[in-house]
Amino acid sequence: MTTQERIMEFFKSKNITDIQTDTDLFKGGYVNSLFALEIVMFLEKEFKIKIKNKDITEKNFRTIDSMAAVIEKYL
Amino acid sequence: MSTEQKIKCVVWDLDNTLWDGVLSEGDDVRLRDGITDIMKTLDERGILMSIASKNNFDDAYKKLTELGVADYFLYPQINWNPKSEGIKKISEELNLGLDSFAFVDDSPFEREEILSANENILTIDAADIGKITDMECMIPKFITEDTRSRRLMYIADSKRKHDQQEFTGDNMEFLKSLGMKLTISPVTEHDLQRAYELTVRTHQLNSTGYTYSYDELKDFIGSNSHIFRIAQLTDKYGDYGKIGLILVENTDALRIKLLLMSCRVMSRGVGSAILIYLAKLAKSLDKPLFAEFRTTDRNRIMYITYKMMGFDELENNDGDVLLEYTSEEEKDYPGYLEVIEK
């Protein structure tokens, strides 16, 4: 599975299926505090990494593609 | 500043604690003397109650109903599992930390076992029931409208959660179906006790954990150099009460000193909506927007909220962080939340 596909699995587990890897998650209103925390925790667990505070940004989490790009820096 | 821990939930054993006798042995159990008054007092103080009892659920619940006290208890755990598991379940359902729980049981074994869930649970021998309402940790500093109706709000919440589990669409659709309205208003003198209560009760969804005395809070109301707002949330199930507090220093820049929300509104989008509200406000005043953040072991969720809403970290001194809002795009409130500014 690609990084994108692995991240997509998280959204599927939340019954969110109508998004693409380049969907703007903030504009769609998908992201609230708890969801944001859950995404960060999911990524850290799934990819066995610790995301640095400086990488937790609006830009990096806007789409699944941008999240994948950040994750790949750690791998 | 003070962080004295008050009890938010009392979990009762049944046999020889809440009632005299052992139900499963066929005793004609009766409520312990004075227990009704104690429960009524705790309920009026906004302290929630539940049950951890080794019994058959249907029999025990039927008895509680006959005795006229069943409605006091949220998420009762009546089964044959260890009580430490029961109390963890209650804490998860109520979204309250176990260090704010008290547990009343006549059995020394059970009082010891419960500590395996969390060693900071206050355990009380059933023989000491008469002392409960006089304990310092059982006396909230203020009783507000929200305190008195806390149990009812949790009951509405349990209905919501149940419907959410049954709901088949995605979370966004569920949120839309709630018809939520968030009202952000200037704090008035009438709100001060609730504002104080929020600052001392809220740990997870709290950006700095700063606490202020009643008089300090009162001074912010008339202050020209502060913006002091309280937020209330309602939906089709009812009122969540006054659930959020915002204190912003207003000088050449806006500087968020305090942003906090009750855990009951976690995952409702309130934090993001309030940050959008403040971003709009800063823009209308043509001032930069800063936020103070103090890292604790529980509030990472607030840090992530700030960062994902477009705040950048400027300074970090041992966990004391200064953030600045740098997002360039104009943000709008999420479609599932109607925001009313007063």
Domain holding B42: CATH number? 3.40.50.1000
What are the tens digits of pLDDT across the range A51-72?
999 999 999 999 999 999 999 9
ipTM rounded to 2 decimals? 0.89
* Residues on chain A touching B266 (C-beta within 8 angstroms): 33-34
Query: Closest approach of chain B CAs to the CA of A9, in angstroms?
Result: 14
Q: Does B130 share its domain with B249?
A: no
CA distance to partner chain B, nearest, from residue A67 (Å): 12
Same domain, B207 and B153: yes
Residues B199 and B264 in one domain: yes
Q: Which of B119, B138, B157 is the last residue of a domain?
A: B138
If asked whether residues B49 and B25 sit together in one domain, one would say yes
Q: Give me the residue label for tokens 């855990």.
A: B263
Q: Which of B143, B96, B141 lies closest to B118, judged by CA?
A: B96
CA distance A28 to chain B (A): 8
> What is the arrangement of strands in the sheet containing B122-125, beginning at the earlier edge strand?
B77-78, B48-53, B9-12, B101-105, B122-125
Q: What total of structural domains would you count in chain B? A: 2
CATH of domain A3-74: 1.10.1200.10
Alpha-carbon span B156 to B47, nearest angstrom: 16
* Closest residue to A33, CB basis, from B172, B271, B313: B271
Last residue of a domain, one of B138, B162, B177: B138
Contacts of B310 (CB under 8 A, 6+ apart): A58, B279, B325, B326, B327, B329, B331
Provide the 10 A C-beta neighbour count for residue B235. 19
| B273 assigned to some structural domain | yes
Nearest CA in chain B to A52: B304
Q: Is B137 exposed, middle or buried (0-12, 13-18, 19+ CB in 10 A)?
A: middle
Q: Are residues B240 and B101 in the same domain?
A: no
- Residues on chain B touching A57 (C-beta within 8 angstroms): 307-308, 312
Residue A32 — pLDDT band, cuts 50, 70, 90? confident
Average pLDDT (B212-221) is 96
Measured from the Cβ of residue B104, the count of other Cβ atoms closer than 10 Å reads 24
Cβ contact B171–A16 (<8 Å) = yes
Rounded CA-CA distance B342/B339 in Å is 10
Q: What is the C-alpha separation between B28 and B54, in angstroms, rounded? A: 17
When pLDDT is cut at 50, 70 and 90, the band that residue B1 belongs to is very low
Structural domain containing residue B130: 9-138
Do B75 and B187 sit in the same domain of this protein?
no
In a domain, B4, yes or no: no
Asked if B327 and B182 sit in the same domain, the reply is: yes
Which letter does DSSP use for residue B319 in this model? Answer: T
Number of H helices, E strands in chain B: 11, 15
pLDDT tens figures, B69-99: 999 999 999 999 999 999 999 999 998 999 9
**Chain A residues whose C-beta sits inside 8 Å of any chain B C-beta:** 14-18, 26, 28-37, 40, 53-54, 56-58, 61
